[in-house]
Amino acid sequence: MAAMFDVLPEELTLSIVEHLEADLQALRNLALTCKRFQALSEPLLYDSLFLRHGHHSASLRRALQARPSRGVAIRSINARLLPDANHIAIDNIDQVIRHATRLKEYILESPYCNGGRWRLAAAKAPWASSMSKLLLAIVEATELSADHLHNTTGPRPLQQLTNLTLHLNGEGREFWTVHGIYGFIFAHPNLKTLHLSSANLPRDTTELIPHGTKTPLRHLTLDECNITMEALSSVLALPLELQYLYIGENEHSPDEVHFPAAQAYNHLCEKQPQAFFAALAQQQHSLQTLVYNTVDIPNWFSYLVHLGPSTAALADPTLKDFSQLRVVRMPHPSKTLVRLLTSDLTAPPGLSTLSIEWLGYEQLFGHDADERPISITGVRVPTIIQNAVSAMPQLAQLQLTFDCIEYYGPDLEDRPDWNIVAAGDFLARHGVTLRILQPNERSSIVRPILYGEEETEDFLLYVNDDVGFRHVSEMSEWSSFEDSQSDDDDDDDDDEEVL
């Protein structure tokens, strides 16, 4: 058998070996047979690495030191660290990163990120030192950092890195702070995709980056972050052509909104709409997808009910010049953004998909689901839906996810919701697909989504097609968010300001 492989051309032998790519044990066995198959197998074995335990980094470092060509083969490192990753393991990972001269993708997850683990003693001073070590190679990748670092020798690391994900935490804190030399992460010369979570972006986030610096970044995700307007504006000034932007303001960690002190975090679109859209307008020539996940806005639902004609004040910011914008998604609604999207004067000209989540049925249609009409006669299509069609002529899909409609199984088939049918018929006449969804369950998982976690998919209740309402037999009954509030909250609703 060995003699047969010896006479095969190298290209054909390599093709055979590549068929084993998904079977790592078979590749390991093949690599042990002879030097020739070791040379053919190892680029596949080292292409994508997963690090979970501290001892993995030690054996990997030894393997790279023994044969540097192994480091050249590494294209992806997924480091989802457990608390056993001590300072020795962190030093090993730093050296592995520096040996991986052609690394394309790097995912780094702190052992203390999210879930309260950041309160552990090991998550304090020892972790701060470890995080600095792990981030140093990323900072060094940017030539601009040279004047701000000391004792750096050798070639600049991570020069081919294109995808970077950092799920971290601070020193004894749930969030880490991106300022000082860490701001150079945004100036990496080759990054195309950047995902940061549980991070503070204070006013001075990019103060060390020279004005006029440009990067090739295409996809930026700020996930469950504290963000100042100054940081957002300066970060969005860097990419040449950003295509995807996820702005996720801190929703689940109220204790973190005061650190560092004296920072005006979050609610950016509602607090300073002119500045917010001016920051976004730096990418109006290229931005295709915008996801804005803001924290809860008081009186939002009353705004939906009393939404007026499709007009906007001339002083409002505008999305008219966002010529490439095709998709907007709001996991939590932004009143200002909805107003701009549903106005003829300010809506983007080419938007095709709009998704609004965490809606209340009664706030959109004016009454509870169990009081829905018995026929379509006299049913009025909500103004917000009429305005969306008028303002966005290219709109092809509108997706609305309600907090809870309290529909169960065949109830939708036996007793159709004529509010939804009327809205669906109206949108169908204008060539727009309407999708109505309801959350599957109340999940304890919150963003960022870490290793081993998975977001549950929402139930699809209705599409304005030939099928209409879907039979969701597996849906379990649970009380709506509104029903879970106290009687005091109900009394407060009567005093809400009408917008």
Does residue 11 form part of some domain?
A: no
Query: Helix %, strand %, coil % for the chain, to 5?
Result: 35, 15, 45
Cis peptide before 111 (omega within 30 of 0): no
Query: Contact 111/117 with Cβ under 8 angstroms?
Result: yes
The answer to whether the beta carbons of residues 96 and 137 sit under 8 Å apart is: no
Distance between CA atoms of residues 99 and 395, nearest Å:
49
Range of the domain at 174: 47-266
| % of the chain exceeding 70 in pLDDT | 80
Helix (H) or strand (E) holding 206: none
Q: How far is CA 168 from the centre of its chain?
A: 15
Q: How far apart are CA 430 and CA 267, in angstroms?
A: 34
The answer to whether residues 164 and 247 belong to one domain is: yes
Q: 116 and 100 in one domain?
A: yes
* Burial (CB count within 10 angstroms: exposed 0-12, middle 13-18, buried 19+), residue 57: buried
- With 50 as the cut, is the pLDDT of residue 481 above it? no
Is residue 306 in some structural domain?
Answer: no
Angle (nearest 5°) at CA 199 between 197 and 200: 155
Residues 156 and 262 in one domain: yes
Q: Does one domain contain both 262 and 178?
A: yes
- What is the Cα–Cα distance from 348 to 351, expressed in whole angstroms? 6
Closest CA to 247 of 338, 173, 336, 331: 331
pLDDT of 441 = 65
Rounded percentage of the chain residues whose pLDDT exceeds 90: 51
Cα 92 from chain centroid (whole Å): 29
Domain count, the chain: 3
Q: Which of 181, 111, 112, 177 is nearest to 147 (CA)?
A: 181
Q: Is the pLDDT of residue 417 over 70?
A: yes
Candidate ranges 143-152, 199-208, 252-261, 369-378; pick with highest mean pLDDT = 199-208
SS3 91: helix
Determine how β-strand 219-227 pairs with β-strand 199-201: parallel
Please indicate, yes or no, whether residues 334 and 438 belong to a single structural domain of this protein: yes
DSSP three-state, residue 436: strand
pLDDT in tens, 98-137: 999 999 999 999 988 876 778 877 777 788 788 888 999 9
Say whether both 78 and 195 belong to one domain. Answer: yes
Banded pLDDT at 258 (limits 50, 70, 90): confident
Q: Are residues 37 and 58 in the same domain?
A: no
